[in-house]
C-alpha cells in the first residue's frame, strides 16, 4: 500500500513534467513561428520528433532519480536547482544524441536556447512545489489513513523519520500498542494499550491500517490477521528477519519460486568471472614478465649473503572451496626453521634482514602471480592461509569458510585496511573475515582496481602491521 502510493505520486510528477515540457516546447516554437517570416525554418515533422526525444530524455532522468522519503518533499531551492539542471541535461543529452545520429544540422539554435532556458525555469518550479501540492491533493481527506503501530517502543522510536516521510502519503500514525509501561507517549505517539488490546482499539477508533513493528510467529500472525480482517483494516508487518538473524538478506524470485539468500555474490555471474579472470591474467602476465625476473635476481643475491638456500618457498595453502594448492613466495626465513606453521611475529629471529624488507613491503608475494597464471589464485581476493591455520581460525569464527566462495588473492580488502601480520585474537580473525565477506558481496572490477592501486601504495609506505 505505502509503496504503491509513493510510486504513484512519482509517476504522476514524471507525467506532469513531461506534459509541462511538451507545452513549453510548443509554446516556444509557436512564438518563433509567429515572429519568423519563413515557416520552412521550423519544419513541424522534425520538431515533433524533437519533442518525442526530449520527453524520452526527461522520463529517463525522472526514473533514474533516487527519491528518498522526506527529501522528495523538501522545499529546498538549491536541491530543486540541482534536480532541474540534471533533468535538463538528460533532455539535451537525448536531443544531442538524436541530432548526431540523424546528422541533423537544421535545428534552430535560437529555439534550443529559448526552450532550454524556459524549460529549466518550469522544471525548477515543478520540482520545488509540485510534490507537496500533489501529495495534499491525492492523499488528504478521504484518502488519509489512520495507522496503528503494534510492537516494541524502541522500534517505534527508530521509525520516527520514516513516519514523518510517509505522512506525506496520507499515512498518519494514530498511536502505539506496546508491552512497554510507564509512558503515555513515545515521541509524539500516544500509547493506547498492549497488543492484546488490538480488537478493542479497532472497535473504538477509526483505524484504516495496522503496522506490526516486528515479525511475529505464524500463529500470532494469523491472530492479527483475524482481528484486522474482522474490522476491515489493512495489516502490514515490518520484515525484521535480517535484524533477528543479525545478517543481511537478499530476496529474489526465479521461475515463480521465492527465495531468501544470506549474501549477494556478483561473481556467480559468468560474465563477471570472465572480466575478473581477464583482469587477473593481464596483471599477472605483466608482473611475471617484467617484475619477477629482476626482483628474483636481487633476492637471490641477498639470500646468498644472508641466508643461503632455495630462492622460493612453497607451501600448501587452502584455496577456493578449501582445495589445497602449492603457493609460491620468496623465501624470507632461514632454512633452519623448526616450525613453519607458527605465524611470524614482529621480532621473529627466523627472518633474515632482507627477508624482513621483503615481508614489510609485500614484495615476497610477487611469485604468487605464477599461482594466478596457473588458476590457483586471483590478483584480488581473501588471502590464502595454511591448512593448520584454516582449522584454527574456523573454530574461532563460524562464518570463516564463506571466504572460500572465491579464489584467494595476492592482495585483498583486509590487507589495504591494515589487517596484516599476526592474527593474535579472535577479534583479529573476525575483522579480516568481515573484510573478505564484504569483498565477496561488493565485488566489481572498480573495487579490484582500487585494491591493486592501494596495495601498490603500501609497497612504498607499508602499514605498521606489515612484518
Is there a single domain that holds both residue 214 and residue 284? no
Residue 93 sits in the same domain as residue 235:
no
What pLDDT score does 182 carry? 64
Listed range (229-238, 245-254, 297-306, 454-463) with the worst mean pLDDT: 245-254
Q: Among 177-181, 373-377, 396-400, 452-456, whose mean pLDDT is lowest?
A: 396-400
CB 313 within 8 A of CB 335: no
Is position 259 within any domain?
Answer: no
The reply to whether 236 and 282 lie within a common domain is no
Q: Is the pLDDT of residue 37 over 70?
A: no
Q: What are phi and psi of 281, to 5 degrees?
A: -65, -40
Residue 260 lies in a domain: no
Number of domains in the chain: 3
**Higher local confidence (pLDDT), 179 or 225:** 225
Please say if the pLDDT value at position 136 is more than 90. Answer: no
Task: Indicate the pLDDT class of residue 78, thresholds 50, 70 and 90.
Answer: confident
> Using an 8 Å Cβ cutoff, are 171 and 135 in contact?
no
Whether 306 is in a domain gets the answer yes
Q: What is the CATH number of the domain that holds 216?
A: 3.40.50.20
Q: Residue 138 — pLDDT band, cuts 50, 70, 90? A: confident
Higher pLDDT, 376 or 162: 376
| Structure confidence at residue 258 as a pLDDT band (50, 70, 90) | confident
Do 202 and 102 have their domain in common?
Answer: no
Beta-bridge mates of residue 103: none
Residue finishing a domain among 139, 157, 181:
139
**Rounded Cα–Cα distance for residues 451 and 393 (Å):** 24
- Same domain? 59 vs 199: no
C-alpha cell at 384: 590464502
Residue 261 lies in a domain: no
Domain encompassing residue 54: 2-139
**What pLDDT is recorded for position 317?**
92
- Asked which of 60-69, 306-315, 384-393, 405-414 is least confident by mean pLDDT, the reply is 60-69
Query: Looking at residue 70, what is its pLDDT?
Result: 43
| Whole-number pLDDT of residue 346 | 62
Same domain, 118 and 6: yes
Write down the pLDDT at residue 69.
Answer: 41
343 DSSP 8-state letter: P
H helical segments located in 288-386: 292-306, 353-361, 368-374
pLDDT reading at 68 higher than 60? no
Residue 254 domain-assigned (yes or no) = no
pLDDT at residue 3 is higher than 80: no
The per-residue pLDDT of the chain, averaged, comes to 85
Task: Label residue 107 by pLDDT band (50, 70, 90).
Answer: confident
Decide if 251 is inside a domain: no
* 467 part of a folded domain: no
- Residue after which a domain boundary falls, among 139, 172, 190: 139
Residue 73 and residue 133 in one domain? yes
| pLDDT tens per residue across span 378-414 | 999 999 988 877 777 777 777 788 888 999 999 999 9
Same domain, 311 and 166: no
Q: Do both 53 and 121 map to the same domain?
A: yes
> Are 100 and 149 in a shared domain?
no
- In the predicted structure, residue 424 carries a pLDDT above the cut 70: no
Q: Global pTM?
A: 0.63
Domain match, 238 and 325 both: no
Per-residue model confidence as pLDDT tens digits over 317-359 = 989 988 999 999 999 888 876 665 566 666 677 888 998 899 8
In a domain, 241, yes or no: yes
Quick check: 355 and 448 in contact, CB under 8 A? no
Mean pLDDT of the 12-24 span:
92
Tell me which of 113, 139, 165 is where a domain ends: 139
Residue 72 to residue 78: CA distance in whole angstroms: 13
For the chain, give the percent of residues with pLDDT over 70. 90
56 and 185 part of one domain: no
**What separation in angstroms does the CA of 443 have from each of 369, 382, 405?**
20, 12, 12
Amino acid at each position: 500500500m505505502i509503496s504503491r502510493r509513493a510510486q504513484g505520486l512519482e509517476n504522476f510528477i514524471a507525467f506532469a513534467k513531461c506534459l509541462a515540457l511538451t507545452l513549453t516546447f510548443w509554446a516556444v516554437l509557436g512564438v518563433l513561428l509567429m515572429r519568423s517570416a519563413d515557416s520552412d525554418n521550423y519544419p513541424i515533422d522534425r520538431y515533433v520528433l524533437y519533442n518525442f526525444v526530449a520527453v524520452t530524455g526527461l522520463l529517463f532522468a525522472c526514473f533514474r532519480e533516487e527519491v528518498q522519503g522526506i527529501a522528495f518533499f523538501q522545499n529546498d531551492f538549491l536541491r530543486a536547482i540541482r534536480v532541474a539542471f540534471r533533468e535538463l541535461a538528460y533532455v539535451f543529452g537525448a536531443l544531442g544524441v538524436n541530432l548526431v545520429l540523424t546528422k541533423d544540422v537544421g535545428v534552430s539554435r535560437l529555439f534550443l536556447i529559448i526552450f532550454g532556458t524556459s524549460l529549466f525555469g518550469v522544471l525548477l518550479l515543478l520540482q520545488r512545489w509540485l510534490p507537496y501540492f500533489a501529495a495534499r491533493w491525492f492523499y488528504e481527506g478521504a484518502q488519509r489513513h489512520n495507522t496503528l503501530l503494534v510492537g516494541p517502543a524502541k522500534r517505534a522510536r527508530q521509525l520516527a523519520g520514516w513516519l514523518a516521510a510517509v505522512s506525506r502519503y496520507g499515512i498518519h500514525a494514530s498511536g502505539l500498542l506496546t508491552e512497554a509501561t510507564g509512558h503515555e507517549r513515545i515521541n509524539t505517539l500516544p500509547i493506547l494499550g498492549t497488543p492484546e488490546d488490538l480488537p478493542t482499539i479497532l472497535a473504538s477508533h477509526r483505524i484504516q491500517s495496522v503496522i506490526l513493528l516486528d515479525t511475529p510467529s505464524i500463529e500470532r500472525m494469523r491472530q492479527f490477521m483475524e482481528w484486522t480482517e474482522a474490522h476491515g483494516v489493512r495489516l502490514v508487518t515490518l520484515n525484521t528477519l535480517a535484524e533477528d538473524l543479525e545478517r543481511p538478506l537478499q530476496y529474489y524470485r526465479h521461475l515463480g519460486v521465492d527465495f531468501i539468500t544470506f549474501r549477494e555474490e556478483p561473481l556467480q555471474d559468468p560474465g563477471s568471472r570472465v572480466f575478473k579472470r581477464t583482469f587477473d591474467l593481464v596483471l599477472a602476465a605483466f608482473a611475471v614478465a617484467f617484475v619477477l625476473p629482476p626482483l628474483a635476481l636481487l633476492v637471490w643475491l641477498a639470500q646468498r649473503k644472508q641466508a643461503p638456500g632455495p630462492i622460493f618457498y612453497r607451501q600448501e595453502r587452502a584455496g577456493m572451496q578449501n582445495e589445497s594448492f602449492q603457493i609460491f613466495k620468496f623465501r624470507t626465513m632461514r632454512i633452519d626453521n623448526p616450525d613453519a606453521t607458527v605465524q611470524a611475529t614482529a621480532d621473529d629471529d627466523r627472518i633474515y634482514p632482507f627477508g624482513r624488507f621483503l615481508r614489510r613491503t609485500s614484495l615476497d608475494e610477487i611469485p604468487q602471480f605464477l599461482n594466478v597464471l596457473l588458476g590457483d589464485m586471483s590478483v584480488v581476493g581473501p588471502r590464502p592461509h595454511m591448512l593448520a591455520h584454516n582449522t584454527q581460525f574456523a573454530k574461532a569464527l563460524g562464518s570463516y569458510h564463506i571466504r572460500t566462495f572465491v579464489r584467494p588473492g595476492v592482495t585483498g580488502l583486509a590487507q589495504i585496511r591494515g589487517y596484516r601480520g599476526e592474527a593474535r585474537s579472535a577479534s583479529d580473525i573476525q575483522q579480516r573475515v568481515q573484510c573478505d565477506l564484504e569483498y565477496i558481496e561488493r565485488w566489481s572490477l572498480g573495487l579490484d582496481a582500487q585494491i591493486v592501486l592501494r596495495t601498490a601504495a603500501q609497497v612504498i609506505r607499508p602499514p605498521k602491521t606489515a612484518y
